[in-house]
Amino acid sequence: MRFEVKIEVLPREGIANPEGSTIERTLPALGFETAGDVRVGKVIRLHVEADSADAARAIVEDMCDRFLSNPVIEDAIVEVLTA
């Protein structure tokens, strides 16, 4: 089966995120005074062939661990979207 998978790669807590902090500092200029904890990462979408959603997730988590994210500085959140 073919699964669509979304991967969010975000800097881990404590890791500098200049894009996020710049946006956070800028939002009040437009009156958005209540926003905080802005973090900018990246989204990777891909299709994967697997026997089940769990198998698809396992494949993509392996990809994240070995290539798509760097566990020293990033967290990867894997979401299997559709079968």
Partner 1 sequence: MSRRVGVIRFPGTNCEFDTVDAINELGGEAKVLWHGDSDLGDIDAIVIPGGFAHGDYLRCGAIARFSPIMDAVSTFARNGGSVLGICNGFQVLTEAGLLPGALQKNAGLKFLCRMEQIQFASTANVVGLGASTGDLLNIPINHFEGNYVCAKETLKQLEEENRIVFRYTDNPNGSIGDIAGISNKRGNVVGMMPHPERATSMLLGSNDGSSLLQSLLSTERAPSTNEHVVSTHDERI
Binding interface with partner 1 (CB under 8 A): 11, 15-18, 21-22, 66-68, 70-74
Supply the minimum distance, in Å, between the C-beta of residue 16 and partner 1. Answer: 5
Is residue 5 within 8 Å of 79, Cβ to Cβ?
yes
Tell me how far apart the alpha carbons of residues 83 and 5 are, in angstroms, rounded to a whole number.
Answer: 9
Q: How far is CA 74 from CA 25, 29, 39, 70, 78, in A?
A: 23, 30, 12, 5, 13
Q: Least separation, in Å, of the C-beta of 54 and partner 1?
A: 23
State the DSSP code for 65. I
C-beta of 11 vs 80, nearer to partner 1: 11
Between 30 and 72, name the residue whose CB sits nearer to partner 1: 72
Quote the radius of gyration of the chain (alpha carbons, Å): 16
CB of 60 to partner 1, least distance (A): 15
Q: Of 2 and 25, which has the nearer Cβ to partner 1?
A: 25
